[in-house]
């Protein structure tokens, strides 16, 4: 990931905070700050499919986040001091989680459509759609995954031996 040309050229990067069954992103987040890039993480709104990408000030900033009912760390709802990526300069790159992927760029998420809805909003931003990279285990690569009309394809999937 760290040697990837899209990562190297990107300044504003969104990345998920890993759940136990996902690729662990802690070292990538540390590198984002080490390289002087800006790091944004998801804040999900429960009971709808709205998500914002909010800026982290440092890798250590993660320890100040609250744990949701889904067992995900994220900025609290009343945290209004953080920059939202689309309120500023947009994003260059989004690292995406998922449950399954196919080699055509289709992604099976957890069923709420958070990333698809967010990417639709990105397309309306002056900086346009960021490059999207899914981080996956080899076992998550399928022949095909089910897609819906509003699903947004990802640009690339990184997995071991790809």
Report whether 112 belongs to an annotated binding site: yes
- Rounded CA-CA distance 15/96 in Å is 7
In the chain, where the domains are located: 5-159
pLDDT in the model for residue 96:
96
128 is in an annotated binding site: no
The hierarchical CATH code for the domain 5-159 is 3.40.50.10420
Contact by Cβ (8 Å): 137, 98:
no
| 3 state SS of 6 | helix
pLDDT, one tens digit for every residue, the chain (162 residues):
999 999 999 999 999 999 888 999 999 999 999 999 999 999 988 778 899 999 999 999 999 998 888 788 999 888 889 999 999 999 999 999 999 999 899 999 887 889 999 999 999 999 999 999 999 999 999 999 999 888 899 999 999 875
Distance (Å, whole) CA 148 – CA 125? 23
Flag whether 113 is marked binding.
yes
108 marked among binding-site residues: yes
pTM of the model: 0.94
**Does 139 carry a binding-site annotation?**
no
Residue 103 annotated as binding site:
no
Q: Is 115 annotated as a binding residue?
A: yes
Phi, psi values for residue 36, rounded to 5°: 75, 25
Q: Residue 34 is encoded by which pair of tokens? A: 């080490």
The reply to whether 22 sits in an annotated binding site is yes
d(CA 130, CA 70): 26
* 118 closest CA partner among 98, 90, 99: 90
pLDDT at 162: 56
Is 100 known as a binding-site position?
Answer: no
Sign of the dihedral through C-alpha 107, 85, 10, 32: negative
Distance CA(37)–CA(7), nearest Å, equals 10
């Amino acid at each position: 990931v760290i040697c990837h040309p899209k990562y190297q050229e990107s300044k504003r990067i969104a990345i998920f905070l890993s759940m136990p069954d996902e690729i662990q992103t802690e070292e990538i987040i540390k590198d984002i700050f080490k390289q002087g890039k800006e790091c944004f993480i998801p804040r999900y709104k429960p009971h709808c499919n709205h998500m914002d990408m909010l800026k982290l000030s440092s890798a250590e900033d993660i320890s100040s986040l609250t744990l949701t009912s889904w067992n995900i760390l994220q900025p609290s709802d009343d945290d209004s001091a953080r920059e939202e990526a689309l309120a500023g300069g947009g994003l260059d790159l989004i690292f995406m989680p998922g449950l399954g992927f196919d080699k055509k760029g289709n992604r099976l998420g957890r069923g709420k459509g958070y990333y698809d809805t967010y990417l639709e909003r990105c397309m309306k931003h002056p900086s346009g759609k960021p490059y999207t990279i899914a981080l996956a285990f080899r076992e998550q690569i399928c022949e095909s995954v089910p897609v819906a009309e509003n699903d947004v394809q990802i640009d690339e999937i990184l997995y071991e031996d790809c």
